[in-house]
Each structure stands twice: as C-alpha cells, then as structure tokens.
C-alpha cells in the first residue's frame, strides 16, 4: 500500500500541526543542508510537518532551502505532500478568506535553485508538467472540503514571483492578462522539485488580500498574517480531513517524475538524526 507517510508543508501563518498524536521533532541532514520537522501520527498514518519559513517565520521566500526540504521528505519515504500558501488574489471571485486548490502555475522566479538535475553524470532531465499538481491529492482536498461544508475553489492559476517585495500594480495587470488568478512567492520551485522527486504534491492556497492595485490600500505582511490567523483553524481542519481522504492506491503519474532519482540515496540523500 502506498501513501502511508504523508507530509504537510506549512506556509505563512502555519508553523506547527498540533492535531497530530505522538508528536516529536527531528532533523534530517541532506546534501543541501539540515531540515527541521515534526512527526506524529493521525488515523494510522505517519505524518510529518515542515514549516517552510521556519517556526518563527525567519526565512524569506527566495531563501527557503527548497531542495533540502524536498530531499528530506523523499528520504523519509514520504509519498504525498500537501502544502499551504498565503496568496494575493487577482480575481473578484477569489476574495480574501477563499481557499483554492490550485491546478496550474506560472514561474516568475528569478534566482532560485530550481532543479535537482544540474547535468551531473551527463544526465539531462526534462520533466513533464502538463498536470503540475497531483490529481488524486487535489480530489482528496476537494472531497474533504465538501464533507466539512467548507467552500473550496477547484482550480486556479498561481503565479510565483521572486519576492520578497510585493508586486507593482503594473505587474499585477500583466499577470492577470497572462491568465494568473493568484500571486505568491513560494510555490515554485517547491512544486517542481516535488515532481522531480516523484512525490504527489498539492497546494491549498488561502487568499489573504487582493493583489497590488486591486486592493485599495497598501500591502503589508501584517495584513497577510492577520487573515491567516483568522483562517487557520478552518485550514487545519481541511488539512486533517484531506489526510483521511487520500487514497492509498495510486492512479496518478506523479511517481514517474521521479524516475531519475537515484535509488542509492547517497547521491542526493540525507541522514536521519
């Protein structure tokens, strides 16, 4: 049976998962650096929690060690990852407070290490991204939302900026023309590395504000945090119920994305401490 080990990656405003039983902390050292996680159990599954920005939000989006994070999850034998992300909205129909299970992304990042495959050993890897997020995980989250009577929007295009600054109104206008619905600073390269490692990955985006120029006022991190605090308990409920909806039998093709991942984990691997 697959997907017995599952991880949450908590974004802005989500720094721990208190609903897990038998909680403990652990550090995985990877070739990209150390990764701190919590582990626990929930409904017969081993669950891991990783705070993307650190537990005190000390790591800015462009400096998150995405490769270390995904390597650690892979080394732990995790097969499915649900991430949360605070986002700005470009669409009236996705007002602050909305939860969106995104289904596409546009990459506007600039200077981040964004692949595991740097051409070592003469290996050139081009990974398919026709379906960027795991359809089974997305369906599990949407099912959980229906059971909880929470409104969860099915699909949205996330544009990832480099940050850490917010966007200009001119950029937001351009992004809207490109077809983006939501803007954030962290989903890329997390989603791409997860696929390169063959992990099933999905994101629940929580809208914290209308994007620059659509919002009537200035944007601030404090405003983003305030809305996250308001939405946190419902988001937690959605995460935990999604967990119980994840099928153990895989019908998706996410694993294929990881076919170049070395089976001898020494090459990219980590050590559990």
**Interface with ligand HPA (CB under 6 A):** 86-88, 161, 166-167, 183-185, 208-209, 211, 219, 224
- Least separation in angstroms between residue 184's CB and ligand HPA is 5
CA-based end-to-end distance of the chain: 26
- Torsion sign across C-alpha atoms 120, 124, 260, 118: positive
Residue 2 in tokens: 């697959």
Residue 4 in tokens: 């017995």
Distance from C-alpha of 57 to C-alpha of 59, rounded to nearest angstrom: 6
250 close to 136: Cβ distance less than 8 angstroms? yes
- Decide whether 3 or 53 has the Cβ nearer to ligand HPA: 53
Of the candidates 194, 103, 222, the one whose C-alpha atom is nearest the C-alpha of residue 156 is: 103
Distance from C-alpha of 271 to C-alpha of 263, rounded to nearest angstrom: 15
- Decide whether 32 or 158 has the Cβ nearer to ligand HPA: 158
- Decide whether 178 or 259 has the Cβ nearer to ligand HPA: 178
- Least separation in angstroms between residue 186's CB and ligand HPA is 8
Regarding beta strands 45-51 and 5-10, do their DSSP bridges make them parallel or antiparallel, or are they unpaired? parallel
- Least separation in angstroms between residue 155's CB and ligand HPA is 19
- Decide whether 148 or 214 has the Cβ nearer to ligand HPA: 214
- Least separation in angstroms between residue 224's CB and ligand HPA is 5
- Decide whether 39 or 186 has the Cβ nearer to ligand HPA: 186
- Least separation in angstroms between residue 115's CB and ligand HPA is 23
Bridge partners, 205 (sequence order): 85, 100
Closest-by-Cβ residue to ligand HPA is 88
């Amino acid at each position: 049976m697959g997907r017995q080990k599952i991880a949450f990656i908590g974004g802005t405003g989500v720094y721990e998962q208190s609903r897990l039983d038998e909680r403990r902390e652990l550090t995985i050292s990877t070739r990209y650096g150390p990764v701190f996680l919590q582990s626990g159990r929930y409904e017969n599954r081993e669950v891991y929690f990783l705070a993307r920005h650190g537990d005190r939000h000390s790591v800015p989006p462009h400096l998150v060690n995405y490769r270390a994070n995904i390597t650690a999850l892979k080394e732990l034998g995790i097969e499915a990852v649900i991430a949360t992300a605070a986002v700005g909205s470009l669409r009236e129909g996705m007002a602050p407070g909305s939860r969106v299970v995104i289904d596409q992304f546009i990459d506007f990042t600039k200077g981040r290490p964004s692949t595991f495959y740097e051409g070592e050993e003469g290996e050139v890897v081009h990974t398919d991204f026709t379906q960027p997020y795991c359809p089974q995980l997305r369906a599990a989250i949407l099912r959980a939302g229906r059971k909880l009577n929470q409104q969860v929007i099915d699909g949205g295009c996330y544009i990832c900026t480099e940050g850490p600054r917010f966007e200009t109104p001119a950029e937001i206008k351009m992004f809207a023309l490109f077809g983006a619905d939501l803007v954030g600073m962290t989903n890329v390269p997390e989603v791409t590395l997860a696929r390169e490692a063959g992990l099933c990955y999905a994101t629940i985006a929580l809208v914290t504000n209308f994007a620059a120029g659509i919002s009537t006022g200035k944007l601030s991190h404090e405003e983003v945090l305030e809305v996250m605090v308001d939405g946190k308990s419902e988001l937690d409920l959605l995460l935990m119920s999604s967990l119980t909806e994840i099928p153990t039998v895989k019908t998706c093709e996410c694993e294929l994305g990881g076919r170049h991942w070395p089976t001898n984990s020494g090459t990219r691997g980590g050590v559990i401490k």
